[in-house]
Amino acid sequence: MAAITSPEVLLEVFPYLRVLKDGTIDRVAGTQVAPPGLDPETGVLSKDIVILPQTGVSARLYRPNTAKPGTKLPLVVYLHGGAFCISSAADPCYHTSLNNLVAEANAIAVSVNYRLAPEYPLPTAYEDCWATLNWVFNGGEDRDSWVKDHVDFGRVFLVGDSAGANIAHHLALRIKDSDPDPKMKIAGIGMVNPYFWGKKPIGGEVGDLVRKSMVDTWWNFVCPSEKGSDDPLINPFLDGAPGLEGLACGKVLVMVAEKDILRDRGRLYYEELVKSKWGGRKELIETQGEDHDFHIFNPNCDKAKILIRDLGKFVNQD
């Protein structure tokens, strides 16, 4: 009997995936799937729908099971993390987090299942999320009844963690760029542990070159270009990048975690927002003693509950 050998690994993008010699993408994280339905812990109901049949872009919709006909609720358009290359709206970690957020905020949520790199190179993820946002506002009768019947379109929020927070930033800039009298109105952006980066290390990155190199590898894998980690998609503070004054929303909440290698980029985003001519309300919250996306991986810890509570307040405060 011939020996069975493992396929040769061509590239390892730790800790997310491996590229095998035959071109296969072997994801080692973010592949599990939780079914939609009624969550008995939160009383939140969910279902999966196709947004764009021609591309297969889908979303998981959430609503409080107690929502009465005609009741208008805020809408959270949620953009999941995963470095643009892993996870999904059906990931059990995200499913749990969305159930918690919808219950806390008493809101409808559309969790976007955008396509992943490298099979769908950037900017595909941005385009899929943009298409979903257009569907929310301009989909007419093609929109799901949960959106048509229950959403207060004056209270639509973009919320995302990590790569999803990055996407939220770019969507809010694109709304202002797309139409001087935008048909899409975003009330606010909630950015949890946002994934921004740059070639030159700042803050804690200077003394943590191992993790600095790791994050460089992630970005160069999903967005190979001569600009590397100074591509405007990942570094919004370079000369020539769109100014933050163009954000088409009324308020921004930036949430960072003390032990996160991305922390100082989130702080910088907030500081640049304060210095910019953008006139909305801005807030920075830092969670002490925690690392990147801790609330996703450990949703029942006290600090995760506080984070979800703060997001709920953000959605509901005028």
Enzyme catalytic residues: 162, 260, 292
Query: Are the C-beta atoms of residues 114 and 57 closer than 8 Å to each other?
Result: yes
DSSP 8-state assignment for residue 2: P
Which are the contacts of 301, defined by CB distance < 8 A and separation ≥ 6? 294, 295
Radius of gyration of the chain (CA): 19
Angle subtended at Cα 18 by Cα 13 and Cα 21, rounded to the nearest 5 degrees: 125
**Parallel, antiparallel, or unpaired: how do β-strands 25-27 and 17-20 relate?**
antiparallel
Q: How many residues are recorded in the chain? A: 318
- Give residue 73's Cα distance to chain centre: 21
Round to whole Å and give the CA distance between 102 and 83: 24
Query: Are the C-beta atoms of residues 62 and 45 closer than 8 Å to each other?
Result: yes
Which of 137, 82, 134 is CA-nearest to residue 113? 82
Map residue 7 onto helix, strand or coil: coil
Which are the contacts of 268, defined by CB distance < 8 A and separation ≥ 6? 196, 202, 237
